Amino acid sequence: GTASARAAAVLSPGLLAVIDRSARSLSVDVRLVHAVMAAESGFDAAARSPVGAIGLMQLMPLTARALGVDPHQPEQNVEGGVRYLAQLLRQFADVNTALIAYNAGPGYAQRYRQRQVPLYGETRAYLARVQSLLAH
């Protein structure tokens, strides 16, 4: 089913409320947050990536520190991840470029937008996955 249906099925009501509140207060589509979370961690608060990204929204430690959140605390991880996504949506004014930035970093997204680098495998697959989750 949709990322939102999966989120409702696997996340606690408290965490769903944090997602909803954060998305609404920052004017981010809650479906986009659910899709990013599904693609990033599969809704797993204990998820760790090979490069060190943490939790539901797969925050990198430096990003979490810059956002002033503890990425190991699910509520803070979500709140920080939604805030970071909102920043990227404002910065790039385009959902796809913001998603590329969320996955591969703003510097890479900027270079991609200026046609200096191609969209490489992992990020291309990530973008396709989020788009697919949003389309259903």
pLDDT beyond 70 at 1: no
79 annotated active-site: no
DSSP 79: H
**Chain center to CA of 86:** 10
pLDDT tens-digit readout, 48-60 = 999 999 999 999 9
Tokens of 94: 């385009």
Listed in sequence order, the residues at least 6 apart from 100 whose beta carbon sits closer than 8 Å to its beta carbon are 108, 109, 112, 119, 123, 127
SS3 76: helix
Active-site residue identified among 40, 75, 79, 122: 40
| Whether 59 contacts 77, CB under 8 Å | yes
Residue-level pLDDT at 66: 96
What pLDDT band is residue 136 in, cutting at 50, 70 and 90?
A: confident
pLDDT tens-digit readout, 67-123 = 999 999 999 999 999 999 999 999 999 999 999 999 999 999 999 999 999 998 999
Tokens of 133: 């989750």
pLDDT beyond 70 at 7: yes
Report, as an integer, the average pLDDT of 11-35: 96
DSSP 54: B
pTM summary value: 0.94
